[in-house]
Amino acid sequence: SGESCYDFEGAVFQGDVLDEGQELERVTAQLTVVLDRLDPDLVVAPLGIGNHIDHLHVSAAAKRLGRRFLFYEDVPYVTIGRFDGWRREFPAGEARIHDCSAEAWAAKIKSIECYSSQLEVLWFNPQSWRNDLASYASSVSHGNRAERYWTFCEE
């Protein structure tokens, strides 16, 4: 309907995928339709670090589908100290490092800039997001800007 599913902004971080079974079924069904139509070789989905309910639904749906997925680390949540223990909560398997070319990095920054309404919400200091992101990306691959993806590991 286009109306918010939650009564207040913080509620999107308080959901439980298991408590929202119908919604998870709907996300899984929609994802199945799109993937069956497109038939991609690889799909990238969020791990769900940060407990954002949208990311948790997509991650849970992806794990049900039996397709080849890689899971990305949800930024900026993965950079926030209170989520340091995320590996204990998420059954991530093998890490895959993808070094970013200068062109790919510029495209990523340009894409993030399109979400200008989210920058103040996602970063405590919206002016520093470019530096924060570059610092994190450099920490992933010994000084090269990179992204880290994970295979799914059954518990």
Residue 110 has pLDDT above 90, yes or no: yes
Task: Determine the angle formed by the axes of helices 102-113 and 129-140, rounding to 10 degrees.
Answer: 140
Sheet containing strand 92-99, strands side by side: 43-46, 69-72, 146-152, 92-99
For 130-152, how does the pLDDT look when each residue is reduced to its tens digit (9 = 90+)? 998 999 999 998 889 999 999 87
> Rounded to an integer, what distance in angstroms lies between the CA atom of residue 95 and that of residue 4?
35
> Rounded to an integer, what distance in angstroms lies between the CA atom of residue 17 and that of residue 20?
5
Residue 91 has pLDDT above 80, yes or no: no
**Mean pLDDT estimate for the chain:** 83
How confident is residue 18, by pLDDT bands cut at 50, 70 and 90?
low
- Specify the pTM: 0.79
> Rounded to an integer, what distance in angstroms lies between the CA atom of residue 76 and that of residue 130?
11
Average pLDDT on 39-55 reads: 88
Query: In Å, what is the CA distance from 142 to each residue of 39, 75, 90, 136?
Result: 35, 18, 24, 10
CA atoms within 13 A on the CB side of 131: 5
pLDDT-wise least confident of 35-39, 51-55, 94-98, 146-150: 51-55
For 51-81, how does the pLDDT look when each residue is reduced to its tens digit (9 = 90+)? 888 888 898 899 888 888 899 988 888 887 7
